[in-house]
Structure 1
Amino acid sequence: MVRDTASHCRTGISWHSLSEYEIYEKLATGEKGLSSQEAATRILEFGKNELPESKRASVFTIFLSQFKSPLIYVLIAAALLSWFLDHLTDTAFITVVILVNAVIGTIQEWKAEQSAKALQQLFRITAVVTRDGHEIRIPAEELVPGDLVYLEAGTRVPADLRITQVADCSIDESVLTGESVPVTKKVTTLPEEIPISDQENMAFAGTTVVRGICRGFIVNTGICTEVGKIAVAVADTTLSKPPLIIRMEKFSQHIAVAVLVATAVLGIIAVYQGMGIIDVFFFAVALAVSAIPEGLPVALTVVLSIAAHRMAGRHVIVRKMTAVESLGSCTLIASDKTGTLTMNEQTAHIVLLPGRDSFQVTGTGYTGEGSIHTHKGEHLSETDLHQVQRLCHIAALCSEAQLERIDEGWHHSGDPIDVAFLALAHKSGLDTSLIQKSVERSLFIPFEADRRYSAAGFTDATGERFGIKGAAEAVLPHCIRMRTSAGDEEVDQALLLAKAEELAVDGYRVLAVAEAVSP
């Protein structure tokens, strides 16, 4: 049971604008975190760190909901009239149709509910928290305001927290702000009136650490977090009827009116021709029952069930079958791009070596599935492939990301751009895990927004070398030569920067990779 936000949320506090001492004071905490006893008291006061969930429907409830349709009401009325007329065959047939329709709908929606429940279980996370002066790992639901939490690359932020210690930490906040570029976090005090996207000393629930480590004190949990406020707003939304239900209501009304008018007209004609009143009544009822399309509800349910099954094959859970038709009725969809229309996964599409035509890269997302070929679709020559692999080799050593195949899937962690480079390396035929484990890296300079590049010093089979990876305008000033198909030549910065600008205009994020031999 989730508490009402007004009962325990600390509103009106700009946590990002407070000093570290003020954070300690307002949260009644310290560098050693909370005691277990204090944490137990606070979880009673603030509630569990979880978002509101609607009450899950039982199988019986789902079964009963299948009868909430105007056309089903008409069929039930037809079954009752058939039973009243002692037409048991018609009564049995209509009843079977109603039950088959209900069973098909129940099975589909129950399976969707179970899939949604299983999916939510996958997102249960734990957190490393300091309790009684010791770091322990606990379920994220047990976190309370004032807890000191440790975050590292690859972990999901369990609650809103104010960062007090940081080491080259960047957090992907696209789920909250829509910005695909990770935010570099800092230990600082910020002005009070700034948007969430500019709060560099805060980490928000639901976001993901892509690089580095940090520690911070939890300031809000559950529905008091920024993502929790969104969840509450969505939960309070009044749902409207799906287009299919609206059209079925109109259709049922039209059928009812048409049947009543037809039976009335034919009844009057029959009476005028001398038929008895009782016979006219039975004739009118029989006509009304025969005019009702008993098979239509089943046909609709089967069609919607097939559509829901097809969407499930595309990893979409359809919890209400009428939602399929609602989606098909949309004429305009307004949507955020990052993570909604796109998957928020960076992918290398073009590789450009100096003095050569560009190479195309197939495959999308953070996987090694794809290939590199010329713009004519031909395989790379041995020389070109070697140069591309060398580029990927350097890029892999200039990153802290990981990308490896586990069972039948790909697992990744770290900065999105670094992971995209590792995916490119796999497509070129390299094993990035082997490179990162076998090559000794003597120096590493992590990426920073003001520096705009990362670099590494390493020793491999070719000797001691230094690699750099970053924005073209940040890397090229450090270069004196470029490797073309004709050999090493003096670097033409103007030409390369013009090409980079040309690609940027087309919507590409352009990065450069270079290496140097240690003197």
Structure 2
Amino acid sequence: MSSEPDGVKPSVNGLTSAAAARLLDEIGPNELRVKSEKPAWRLLVAQFNSPVIWMLFAACVVSTLVGEVLDAAAIGTIVVINGLVGFFQEYRAEKAVIALRAMTAPRARVIRDGRTQAIAAAAVVPGDLLSLEAGDVVAADARLLEANVLSAMEAALTGESTPVTKTAQPGVPNAPLAQRSDHVFAGTVIATGTGFAQIIATGMHTELGRIAGMLAAATDESTPLQTRLGVLSRRLMIICLGIVIAVAALGWRQGLTGMDLLLPAISLAVAAVPEGLPAIVTIALAVGMQRMAARHALVRRLTAVETLGCATVICTDKTGTLTTGIMAVREVWGQDHLRVLETAVGCSDAELSLDEQGGIGDPTEVAIVVAAAKRSIRLIEIEAERPRASVYPFDADRKCMSIYRMDGILYAKGAVEAISERATVIPPGAGEAAADMAARGLRVLAIAIGRVDRETDLELIGLLGIADPPRTEAIDAIARAKAAGIRTVMITGDHELTAHAIAQEMGILQPGQAAEDVVHARATPEDKLRIVQEWKSRGEVVAMTGDGVNDAPALREAHIGIAMGRTGTEVTREAADIVLADDNFATIVAAIEEGRSIFENIRKSTAYLVAGNMAELAVVFVGAALGFPTLLLPIHLLWINLVTDGLPALALVTDRGTSTVMSRPPRPVHEQILGGPEWRHILLAGAIQMICVMGIFLWARDTRDLDEARNLAFSVLVFGELLRAFSARDPDRPFWEVGLFSNMKLLLIVVASLLAQLAIHHMPATQEIFQISALSLADCALSLGVGALPLLVLEVEKLVRRRFP
């Protein structure tokens, strides 16, 4: 809690410049120490911190040591390209967030040496006297010495959506932050009135700084995708090492030595290493990042997109996220609605904007003048026709305000109880209507008129129900999230009645449901952090949204932190993984949909890639076990992995999500990228491919020489892998139902790769590099026919599985 600075006494003249300079030197500038920007080199190094990358580096080193420089160069190139893609995506995101930053309060007006001075907010010190007026951003925590109709918007700090009335009257010591009416706080905005306040805390000692300091205690955890990739990589490494050792042992028992022994082992290592996996994951996340940017979401970390796809709970702020963040007249009660609005406008000071969609002044009065303007009632016309004679401004004691005009009418508005005490005429049902509005979370204003220039003998003519209305698209998004098995939890600094009413209207709180499960009102920063931690302790994947500094610790603690780009503070954006450019809850649900689609694409692309590697492993292993000469050279396997496997896999990850992606519950947090169904598919596809390749090799070996047999085996494996990519698009539907032309990238890549395979068989330079020969027209047809068999078998298996589930 902020406290009075030792040795600093209030003075109408303020501090002297010398005293201020001394304090600034002792205490330091009035700035927040937020998380420092990651240097570019750290972003780059982070791209290579992966077991798969380490495995690729190991294969690269081994290939270099045994003289296979071309293989090593190809592997190294893929690793570097993959790292650069990830680096540039995250670097661009970091720079975009930096561009969003703005100083909390760039300038402040203080009294020093007996006169008012405008200085940099960073230069204010405890003891300075702040001069405050409507529109000012408060530079530091301060105790009010004078307050004239002063109110402040404290939503960024407390979550309270309406202006808080301020007074110089000392408050209750150690009161909760939202109830300290005699203080103003750094980062909040003065809504109305004027005042003077003495600064009592600056920088990290302010309430804003205290919350920023809590970020250091929050943990950075591995995302679900990173965890799954780590598990998959370790499994593949174990499989690779085991088979390499087994083949080397078989060769040694057969009396092989030197390169004759090492070549099959190196071939297996190249076959087993999924060179395309890091690129697939990076491209999938980058594509998702670009799609989200088009939907107003800036993704700061690539893995954040997929992690959202695992979300089971969304903890969301209310003001500005579920609601518009702009107060509006939701309901008018009274016999004559036009008269009620005209009277309310006649007792307002807000200025209507030119487009009549907003204004300047107290948010409640802005809501009134906007609602009235829609019915052709404008304050500027009232002022011209009925000028003011006297004004009784609002204060916290009277809880009302009034303006007496030259037409002899007193226009008044205020709290229901305050107006009722001064009214002699109250229409039937007014009390019940006010209670009903309040129970539904509306802020109720009583509107009255009088016939004399004082607030007595009033006639209550109507009521206005004012609130921050919900976004209609957010209501739909919450329903979509619920259908997808995702729970929405609202955390707000607003009053309990308001919070419950909005939660019911949004569909978050259902009839008969315990409110404490999904609605948390008057929440402090510590409460928000605790709520996120409780959901995490239950094994839930938590997304947390917010815009105020009070949300930042919870954003950092959550699996995925989502900050508001328009209204969010600098500290909040620093803590977030995703920044919403439109501050819209519906964008979060769109991000979840994108995340689920990305995981589907990563899963099917990985299954396709590993199935191809398994086929290559099986061919080399079975050939070595049967004592055959090396069927496929390392350069052949590298070509298959990087070109005929890798490129189609990259096209697969650009697929759009299926229409059912948001009708299924969230994936279990520990579900692996490759589960039981995927491994069964991998083994089936690998076995069929191996049978086709071994079959063509054995047939050609009996009728032709070894080079021609190897030539055919190589081409059949390439053609088979390319054509099988069409089957990989959907695990349940055959490719003709998915649509051959619905992913033109894949179709073009497959056709181009088929032509490239034919080209390397007929170009002298590539014939020498790959140690292959030309294919006759008959051999081309034979290779394509045999290569198409795995595709046909897999599609038939889908139809059988559909018929006999």
**Where on the TM-score scale, by shorter chain, does this alignment land: which range?**
0.7 to 0.9
After TM superposition, the structure 1 = structure 2 runs for residues 285-300 of structure 1, keeping only pairs within 5 Å, are 285-300=266-281
Q: 1:47 aligns with which of 25, 28, 32?
A: 28
Q: Distance in 2 between matches of 1:85 and 1:332?
A: 52
Q: Distance in 1 between matches of 2:44 and 2:52?
A: 16
Q: Supply the AA of the counterpart residue of 2:61.
A: L
CA RMSD of aligned residues (A): 3.3
Q: Distance in 1 between matches of 2:25 and 2:350?
A: 40
Q: Which residue does the alignment assign to 1:511?
A: 445
Q: Which residue does the alignment assign to 2:402?
A: 455
Structure 1 pair 184/506, CA: closer, same or farther in 2 (3 Å)?
closer
User: After superposition, what is the alpha-carbon deviation per residue over 1:89-128, rounded to whole angstroms, capped at 9, x for unaligned?
Assistant: 5434433333333233222222222222222236452111
Q: Which residue does the alignment assign to 2:47?
A: 66
SS in 2 for 1:510: strand
- Mapped contact 1:348–1:424 kept (Cα < 8 A): yes
Matched, 1:466 2:400: no
Q: Distance in 1 between matches of 2:375 and 2:365?
A: 15
- Larger deviation, residues 265-274 vs 201-210: 265-274
- Mapped contact 1:311–1:318 kept (Cα < 8 A): yes
Q: How far off is 1:138 after superposition?
A: 1.1
Matched, 1:260 2:260: no
SS in 2 for 1:442: strand
SS in 2 for 1:507: coil
- Mapped contact 2:104–2:137 kept (Cα < 8 A): no
Matched, 1:443 2:390: yes
SS in 1 for 2:369: helix
- Mapped contact 1:397–1:441 kept (Cα < 8 A): no
Structure 1 pair 510/29, CA: closer, same or farther in 2 (3 Å)?
closer
Q: Supply the AA of the counterpart residue of 2:275.
A: E
Q: Which residue does the alignment assign to 1:381?
A: none
Matched, 1:424 2:374: no
After TM superposition, the structure 1 = structure 2 runs for residues 15-164 of structure 1, keeping only pairs within 5 Å, are 15=4, 26-121=7-102, 123-164=104-145
Q: Supply the AA of the counterpart residue of 1:421.
A: I
Structure 1 pair 44/313, CA: closer, same or farther in 2 (3 Å)?
farther
When you count strand as a share of all residues, which structure comes out higher? Answer: 1
Q: 1:227 aligns with which of 169, 191, 208?
A: 208
Q: Supply the AA of the counterpart residue of 2:7.
A: K
Structure 1 pair 55/302, CA: closer, same or farther in 2 (3 Å)?
same
Structure 1 pair 394/109, CA: closer, same or farther in 2 (3 Å)?
farther
User: After superposition, what is the alpha-carbon deviation per residue over 1:368-387, rounded to whole angstroms, capped at 9, x for unaligned?
Assistant: xxxxxxxxxxxxxxxxxxx5
Q: Distance in 2 between matches of 1:502 and 1:412?
A: 29
Q: Distance in 1 between matches of 2:104 and 2:447?
A: 36
Q: How far off is 1:234 after superposition?
A: 0.9
- Larger deviation, residues 175-184 vs 308-317: 308-317
Structure 1 pair 54/502, CA: closer, same or farther in 2 (3 Å)?
closer
Identity %: 34
User: After superposition, what is the alpha-carbon deviation per residue over 1:37-74, rounded to whole angstroms, capped at 9, x for unaligned?
Assistant: 22111111110000002332233332222222222222
Structure 1 pair 139/223, CA: closer, same or farther in 2 (3 Å)?
same
- Mapped contact 2:56–2:79 kept (Cα < 8 A): yes
User: After superposition, what is the alpha-carbon deviation per residue over 1:417-444, rounded to whole angstroms, capped at 9, x for unaligned?
Assistant: 2222233245445666776788633333
TM-score for the superposition, normalised by structure 1: 0.77
- Mapped contact 1:153–1:413 kept (Cα < 8 A): no
Q: Supply the AA of the counterpart residue of 1:502.
A: D
Q: Distance in 2 between matches of 1:411 and 1:282?
A: 75
Q: Distance in 2 between matches of 1:334 and 1:283?
A: 54
Q: How far off is 1:170 after superposition?
A: 1.2
Q: Which residue does the alignment assign to 1:318?
A: 299
Q: 2:283 aligns with which of 282, 302, 312?
A: 302
- Mapped contact 2:3–2:200 kept (Cα < 8 A): no
Q: Which residue does the alignment assign to 1:374?
A: none
Q: How far off is 1:193 after superposition?
A: 3.8
Q: Which residue does the alignment assign to 1:211?
A: 192
User: After superposition, what is the alpha-carbon deviation per residue over 1:386-416, rounded to whole angstroms, capped at 9, x for unaligned?
Assistant: x54x54444334233345258xx97754333
Q: How far off is 1:253 after superposition?
A: 0.8
Q: Distance in 2 between matches of 1:243 and 1:65?
A: 17
Matched, 1:493 2:428: yes
Q: Distance in 2 between matches of 1:335 and 1:467?
A: 40
Q: 2:436 aligns with which of 495, 502, 505?
A: 502
SS in 2 for 1:260: helix
- Larger deviation, residues 248-257 vs 305-314: 305-314
Matched, 1:284 2:265: yes
SS in 2 for 1:107: helix
Q: Supply the AA of the counterpart residue of 1:445.
A: Y
SS in 2 for 1:444: strand
Q: Which residue does the alignment assign to 1:396?
A: 345
Q: Supply the AA of the counterpart residue of 2:262.
A: F
TM-score for the superposition, normalised by structure 2: 0.51
- Mapped contact 2:419–2:448 kept (Cα < 8 A): yes
SS in 1 for 2:199: strand
User: After superposition, what is the alpha-carbon deviation per residue over 1:174-222, rounded to whole angstroms, capped at 9, x for unaligned?
Assistant: 3222333332222223443433332221111112211111101111100
Q: Supply the AA of the counterpart residue of 1:467.
A: Y
Q: Distance in 1 between matches of 2:377 and 2:78?
A: 60
Q: Distance in 2 between matches of 1:509 and 1:429?
A: 24
Q: How far off is 1:307 after superposition?
A: 3.1
User: After superposition, what is the alpha-carbon deviation per residue over 1:307-329, rounded to whole angstroms, capped at 9, x for unaligned?
Assistant: 33344455544322223333333
Structure 1 pair 208/240, CA: closer, same or farther in 2 (3 Å)?
same
Q: Supply the AA of the counterpart residue of 2:156.
A: V
User: After superposition, what is the alpha-carbon deviation per residue over 1:240-261, rounded to whole angstroms, capped at 9, x for unaligned?
Assistant: 2222222221121111111112
After TM superposition, the structure 1 = structure 2 runs for residues 174-253 of structure 1, keeping only pairs within 5 Å, are 174-253=155-234
Q: Distance in 2 between matches of 1:475 and 1:397?
A: 16
Q: Which residue does the alignment assign to 2:362?
A: 415
- Unmatched runs of 5 consecutive residues or more in structure 1: 1-10, 16-22, 356-386, 482-490
- Mapped contact 1:271–1:277 kept (Cα < 8 A): no
Matched, 1:173 2:154: yes
Q: Distance in 1 between matches of 2:274 and 2:376?
A: 62
Q: Distance in 2 between matches of 1:225 and 1:70?
A: 44
